Amino acid sequence: MKTPEPRPGAAQQSSSPGDERAVHGIWSGTISFSLVAIPVQLVKAVEPGRVSFRLLHDKDYSPLVRRMFCPREGALVPPEEIIRGFEIGPGKYLAVTDEELESVSPERSRTIEIVDFIDLEEVAPVYFDHPYYLIPAKGGEKAYGLLAEVMSRTSKAGLAKFVLHEREYPVLLKSTAGALALITLHYHDEILGAEDILPPEAEVDEEEKRRIKTSIKNLLADFDPRKYADARRQRIIDLLKKKAKEQGEVEAPAVAEEGGEGPADLIAALEESMRRVKQQ
């Protein structure tokens, strides 16, 4: 039996209905190769199941924020006094500005241009970095379906370059259960060579070789990812349920936090800026 492949949409449906980001794409644009152009949206394929905790002040459960601290001055450093430095030796730095970094960042792009089609088996799993799904946008459904079908039938995958969040990645486009998946790949330079870890050549004992073959054969099975669950996560959730029943929740002092969601660094920078506005 073949393992049922995951499909885009399944994960999205299971997330909470109020979460707009689950439905909206992370990126939208066009897949293109030769004369074909397919409008698509990029969506998440995985949602790490980590239980996350917030850090609180123990005496009254106030949520804490991170600030930058200068040990030499013994004082907090406001965001506009923070720059980036590359360490070239002990205590020696090259200062690099946002503008300089930006000048070497790739231009944001609206296309995924497939430059090669390759055999899927050729790509060693060690190259796979992060998976996403592509879903067809209005008007692209037909060409999308065709590309997915042909790639699936021929076991081919498309190779492309893709810019996301100011970085350019080599990516692999493959068919999965009638849909298209996009997997960002590691650069060749990032892959650690396997030469050093290979065991030295040794004499092969035919008897032993046969025993290993038999053992493997006895354990042959289909890959069923549903068999594996994150046991620690489940135990944490059970623990939280038990505590919620026993002690109830603990309320933090009122901080008008509603609508204030946003990256923690942004909130901290705004808080700091506001603190200085009020001092003026």
Q: Whole-number minimum distance, CB 174 to other proteins, in Å?
A: 27
Asked if 98 touches other proteins (CB under 8 A), the answer is yes
Select from 107, 108, 130, 110 the least CA-distant residue to 31: 110
- Are 133 and 45 in contact by the 8 Å Cβ rule? The answer is yes
Task: List binders of other proteins among 12-31 (CB under 8 A).
Answer: 28
Q: Nearest approach, Cβ of 275 to other proteins (angstroms)?
A: 9
The interface with other proteins within residues 143-162 (CB under 8 A) comprises: none
Give the total of residues touching other proteins (CB under 8 A): 34
Residue 41 binds to other proteins (criterion: CB under 8 A): no
Q: Is 231 in the site for other proteins (CB under 8 A)?
A: no
- For position 278 contacting other proteins by CB under 8 A, the verdict is yes
Q: Which residue bears the tokens 């949602």?
A: 47
Among 30, 33, 79, 161, binds other proteins (CB under 8 A): 79
Contact region with other proteins (CB under 8 A), list: 30-38, 120-128, 213-221, 258-266: 258-266
Q: Which of 166, 190, 230, 238: binder of other proteins (CB under 8 A)?
A: 166
CA distance 109 to 42: 13
Q: Is 120 in the site for other proteins (CB under 8 A)?
A: no
Binding-site ranges for other proteins (CB under 8 A): 28, 78-80, 98, 107-108, 138-139, 165-166, 255-263, 265-274, 276-278, 280
